[in-house]
């Protein structure tokens, strides 16, 4: 995990933002939005990676974040940038769960699939962001 790296290297070509309720069905809705928005704008491998990353981040927001969360995606010249903001307390941290644990691996997945990720705490919540370099 790293702090937000500052301005990204290129301005957004395509950007969308959604405010969604923190309900379990929202995870599937977020995946559907990611697939719809990125199809035609990003390579399939980047879309697949973003689907898993967003699933993990939205699941955390639903479980720990409050009544709603915001999902933002930006397609840039050289990468995909995404973030999930929620009003919950605390800062998510990568864990090393027992082999028998049924949860606790979400941020390990985010770290493995993203080129960078981090948490930016703010007034009234936090933003968990990620980038995936676009390769063609």
Q: Which tens digit of pLDDT belongs to each residue from 34-49? A: 999 999 888 898 899 9
pLDDT band at 6 (very low <50, low <70, confident <90, very high): very low
Set out the domains of the chain in order of their start, with CATH numbers. Answer: 13-96+103-133 (3.30.565.10)
pLDDT at 5 over 60: no
> Residues 96, 99, 116, 50: is their CA dihedral positive or negative?
negative
Structure tokens at 113: 């699939």
Q: Which tens digit of pLDDT belongs to each residue from 109-132? A: 999 999 999 999 988 999 999 999
Q: Which tens digit of pLDDT belongs to each residue from 37-91? A: 999 888 898 899 999 999 999 999 999 888 899 999 998 878 899 999 999 988 8
Q: Please classify residue 24 by burial: count the beta carbons closer than 10 Å to its beta carbon, then call 0-12 exposed, 13-18 middle and 19+ buried.
A: exposed
- Give the DSSP letter string of 4-16: --SS-SS-EEEEE
């Amino acid at each position: 995990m790293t702090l937000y790296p500052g301005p990204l290297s290129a301005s957004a070509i395509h950007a969308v933002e959604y405010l969604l309720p923190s309900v379990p069905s929202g995870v599937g809705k977020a995946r559907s939005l990611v697939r719809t928005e990125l199809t035609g704008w990003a390579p399939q491998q980047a879309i697949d990676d973003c689907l898993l990353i967003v699933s993990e981040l939205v699941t955390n927001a639903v479980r720990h974040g409050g009544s709603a969360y915001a999902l933002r995606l930006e397609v840039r010249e050289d990468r995909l940038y995404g973030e999930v903001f929620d009003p919950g307390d605390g800062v998510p941290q990568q864990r090393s769960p027992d082999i028998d644990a049924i949860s606790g691996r979400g941020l390990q997945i985010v770290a493995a699939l993203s080129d960078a990720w981090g948490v930016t705490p703010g007034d009234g919540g936090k933003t968990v962001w990620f980038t995936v370099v676009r390769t063609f």
